[in-house]
């Protein structure tokens, strides 16, 4: 679980970040002078219209991309200065991702999908299996461990995605529209699960969403418009 | 090994495509095995030739005979340890398609000259005691189900144009795999006595094999032998046994070049087929590769996964192809005697295995690099 020292301060510090994409001769400013802090143990929702930069911000916090300007510090590490190789190792240690379209490997069963991040650790096969069983139990899918993604419903696939995200007990869980592809009932189940992970297991969660119903489950919601933070609400 | 189920799963993603690619690789390696066996059959004699043996033949052509009296003159030449002669008999057993070589020889000289032919001492004794006795190689004995004690009729269209009868007194084995055991040898004294009746060829032999005392001096000895018979009615051409065998092989053409040419074309095609399969496989799952990178796989690990998949595919196809070629060539000469040394050498099997790995690396390298260079955020957008 997260370092107790980090819990005292901000787990995520985004400071004066700019992100510019170059398309031909055109520069597209996606994020402008953005500053954000996320304390350990918080459930934060990032809201905003399409193109507001919320997914780009999530990518920067998750070490999938680097800012054009500014600093990103997560769990005490300045990740904007890390090399690709260092970033990969850092992500494996600190970040769990949950994607809108689940992004499971269709050729692997649910349990083998959940095991994927553990393949990068030095755990033995038996230890990995134990972790996988625990993660699947946490999302209520122990009975579907041997099933391939194509035989699971959307909600079940997303729960496998969450199990994969938490199996290494990451410092931070990043969710990109986790209910965007689900009906209301399945979406609610996923939100209940995320809320439980935050409240019962102290997991720090940052969730990108369009849906006010989803953002209402978070402890705090920040709005982005055209790459800038425009408002903030604490539930 | 912990990544094996991921690699295996990806390989099985498109079963039909993988099966067809696997099949084309398999066929290429079966062909490789067969061509190696044919090459071995045609040029294997060169590799097995004794380094200390020279062949002395008529300068004009191998079919011209040499006097038997040359033997003592050769044995007197400095550097020559021993000499033995053979003569082409060209006999037919039952049907011309049952081809195998027969030669009259002087038993003691011959067996001393060719220690790679293993004959039990009691059979050697029987050969020396039986004027019409003949020894036959294991390959031909098995082929015609001959055993010691059998009488074998062989028709010679060259010598007396009659059917000769021989008593099988021994069956020799080869010292190592590849030693030619398709030939039959019988006694020269019986042969020479009998051919007096046709008034031609008596006291003449086909060619000599001489053993030199020092292989390093073989070239000098060859020159001395040819000088000895210079300006005689039967001038000689002396060359190492390997060169002599190579000369025979070259009558078919440059075997190594032909084999390399065919295999080059086949493997180039396979390279394109497998390369295309792997490129498609990577293109189809760019998003998944992005996920792997997002959860912490390094660029190198992604490169390794794609390369491992490519190598697994080619090694599986190659391994199965080589195994099949091994089984198909294990039954030996498919021509019934024209290719006595037809087998798939272990050395070539190992080369084949190496080739399958190289094929995997070459065909996988480009898509693997493409996968390695993917930017995670871009790849995830293509899920």
- pLDDT tens digits, one per residue of B33-73: 999 988 888 776 666 566 789 999 999 988 899 999 999 99
CB A59 within 8 A of CB A65: yes
ipTM for this model: 0.89
Do the chains contact at B299 and A88, CB–CB below 8 Å? yes
Question: Does residue A131 belong to any structural domain of this protein?
Answer: yes
The CATH number of residue A103's host domain is 3.40.50.300
Please compute the mean of the pLDDT values over residues A191-209 and round it to a whole number: 93
Question: Does residue A170 belong to any structural domain of this protein?
Answer: yes
**Cα–Cα separations (whole angstroms), residue A126 to A167, B2, B78, B196:** 14, 12, 77, 87
B16-55 residues labelled b (16+ CB within 10 A) or e (exposed): eebeebbebbbebbbbbbbbbbbbbbbbbbbebbbebbbb
State the pLDDT at residue B46: 63
Find all residues with CB under 8 Å of A81, minimum gap 6, and list them. Answer: none
Does A112 reach chain B within 8 Å, measured CB to CB?
yes
When CB atoms are compared, the residue of A92, A107, A112 closest to B296 is: A92
The shortest C-alpha distance from A235 to chain B (Å) reads 31
- Chain centroid, CA A205 distance in Å: 7
State the pLDDT at residue B12: 87
List of chain B residues with pLDDT < 70: 44-50, 245-253, 336-338, 340, 382-383
When CB atoms are compared, the residue of A65, A88, A107 closest to B377 is: A65
Helix (H) or strand (E) holding B378: helix B376-381
- The reported pTM is 0.72
pLDDT band at A166 (very low <50, low <70, confident <90, very high): very high
Running DSSP on this structure, what letter comes out for residue B157?
S
Q: What is the C-alpha to C-alpha distance for residues A208 and A108, in angstroms, rounded to an integer? A: 27
Dihedral, CA of residue B335, residue B337, residue B338 and residue B339, to nearest 10: 80
Tens-digit pLDDT profile for residues A134-162: 999 999 999 999 999 999 999 999 999 99
Does A137 reach chain B within 8 Å, measured CB to CB?
no
The shortest C-alpha distance from B321 to chain A (Å) reads 27
When CB atoms are compared, the residue of A64, A112, A164 closest to B376 is: A64
Phi/psi of residue B257, nearest 5 degrees: -70, -45
The angle at the Cα of B134, spanning B131 to B139, to the nearest 5 degrees, equals: 175
State the pLDDT at residue B243: 72
Q: What is the C-alpha to C-alpha distance for residues A152 and A144, in angstroms, rounded to an integer? A: 8
When CB atoms are compared, the residue of A84, A89, A108 closest to B9 is: A108
Find all residues with CB under 8 Å of A61, minimum gap 6, and list them. Answer: A12, A14, A72, A74, A172, A174, A206
Q: Is B344 exposed, middle or buried (0-12, 13-18, 19+ CB in 10 A)?
A: buried
Nearest of A82, A83, A55 to residue A71 by alpha carbon: A82
Helix (H) or strand (E) holding B361: helix B346-373
The answer for A 9-68 residues in CB contact with B (under 8 A) is 59, 62, 64-65
pLDDT at A7 over 50: no
- Locate the chain B residue with the closest alpha carbon to A148: B9
Question: Does residue A98 belong to any structural domain of this protein?
Answer: yes
* Three-class DSSP category at B381: helix
State the pLDDT at residue A13: 95
Do the chains contact at B5 and A62, CB–CB below 8 Å? no
Listed as own residue / partner, the contacts of A133-137 with beta carbons closer than 8 Å and 24 or more positions apart are A134/A167, A135/A163, A135/A164, A135/A166, A135/A167, A136/A110, A136/A111, A136/A160, A136/A163
Which residue has tokens 């972790």? A131
State the pLDDT at residue B48: 58
Question: Does residue A97 belong to any structural domain of this protein?
Answer: yes
Its domain, for residue A137, covers 41-63+88-223
Strand-pairing partners, residue A10, are A39
Find all residues with CB under 8 Å of A159, minimum gap 6, and list them. Answer: A139, A140, A141, A189, A190, A193
State the pLDDT at residue B42: 77
Phi/psi of residue A134, nearest 5 degrees: -65, -45
Q: What is the C-alpha to C-alpha distance for residues A85 and A89, in angstroms, rounded to an integer? A: 6
The number of distinct structural domains making up chain A is: 1
Do the chains contact at A88 and B5, CB–CB below 8 Å? no
Please compute the mean of the pLDDT values over residues A203-226 and round it to a whole number: 93
């Amino acid at each position: 679980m997260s370092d107790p020292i980090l819990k005292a301060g901000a787990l995520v510090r985004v400071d004066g970040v700019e992100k510019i994409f170059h398309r031909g001769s055109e520069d597209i400013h996606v994020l402008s002078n953005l500053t954000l802090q996320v304390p350990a143990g918080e459930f934060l929702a990032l809201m905003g219209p399409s193109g507001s930069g919320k997914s780009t911000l999530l990518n920067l916090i998750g070490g999938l991309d680097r800012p054009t300007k500014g600093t990103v510090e997560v769990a005490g590490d300045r990740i904007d200065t890390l090399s690709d190789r260092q970033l990969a190792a850092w992500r494996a240690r600190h970040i769990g991702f949950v994607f809108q379209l689940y992004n499971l490997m269709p050729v692997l069963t649910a349990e083998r999908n959940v095991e994927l991040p553990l393949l990068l650790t030095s755990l033995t096969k038996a230890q990995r299996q134990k972790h996988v069983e625990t993660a699947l139990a946490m999302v209520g899918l122990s009975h579907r461990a041997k099933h391939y993604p194509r035989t699971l419903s959307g909600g079940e696939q997303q729960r496998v995605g969450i199990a994969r995200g938490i199996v290494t007990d990451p410092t931070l869980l990043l969710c990109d529209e986790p209910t965007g592809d689900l009906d209301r009932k399945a979406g609610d189940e996923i939100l209940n699960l995320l809320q439980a992970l935050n409240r019962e297991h102290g997991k720090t969660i940052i969730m990108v969403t369009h849906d006010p119903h989803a953002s209402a489950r978070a402890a705090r919601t920040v709005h982005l418009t055209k790459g800038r933070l425009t408002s903030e609400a604490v539930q | 090994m912990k990544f094996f189920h991921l690699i295996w799963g990806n390989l099985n993603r498109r079963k039909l495509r993988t099966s067809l690619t696997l099949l084309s690789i398999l066929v290429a390696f079966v062909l490789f095995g067969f061509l190696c066996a044919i090459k071995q059959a045609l040029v294997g004699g060169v590799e097995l030739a004794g380094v200390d043996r020279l062949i002395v033949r008529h300068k004009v052509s191998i079919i011209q005979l040499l006097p038997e009296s040359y033997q003592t003159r050769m044995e007197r030449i400095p550097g020559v340890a021993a000499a033995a002669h053979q003569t082409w008999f060209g006999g037919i057993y039952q049907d011309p398609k049952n081809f195998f070589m027969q030669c009259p020889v002087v038993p003691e000289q011959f067996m001393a000259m060719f220690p790679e032919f293993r004959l039990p001492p009691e059979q050697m004794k029987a050969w020396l005691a039986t004027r019409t006795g003949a020894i036959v190689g294991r390959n031909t004995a098995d082929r015609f189900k001959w055993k010691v004690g059998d009488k074998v009729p062989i028709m010679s269209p060259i010598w007396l144009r009659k059917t000769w009868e021989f008593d099988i007194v021994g069956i020799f084995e080869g010292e190592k795999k590849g030693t030619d055991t398709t030939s039959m040898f019988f006694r020269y004294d019986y042969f020479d006595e009998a051919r007096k009746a046709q008034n031609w060829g008596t006291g003449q032999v086909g060619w000599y094999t001489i053993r030199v005392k020092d292989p390093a001096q073989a070239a000098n000895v060859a020159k001395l032998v040819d000088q000895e018979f210079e300006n005689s009615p039967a001038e000689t051409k002396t060359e190492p046994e390997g060169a002599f065998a190579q000369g025979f092989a070259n009558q078919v053409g440059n075997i190594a070049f032909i084999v390399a040419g065919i295999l080059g074309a086949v493997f180039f095609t396979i390279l394109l087929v497998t390369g295309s399969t792997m490129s498609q496989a990577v293109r189809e799952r760019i998003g998944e590769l992005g996920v792997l990178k997002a959860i912490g796989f390094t660029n190198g690990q992604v490169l390794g996964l794609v390369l491992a998949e490519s190598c697994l595919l080619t090694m599986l196809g190659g391994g199965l192809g080589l195994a099949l070629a091994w089984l198909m060539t294990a039954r030996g000469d498919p021509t019934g005697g024209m290719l006595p040394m037809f087998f798939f050498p272990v050395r070539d099997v190992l080369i084949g295995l190496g080739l399958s790995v190289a094929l995997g690396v070459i065909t996988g390298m480009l898509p693997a690099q493409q996968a390695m260079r993917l930017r995670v955020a871009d790849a995830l957008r293509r899920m």
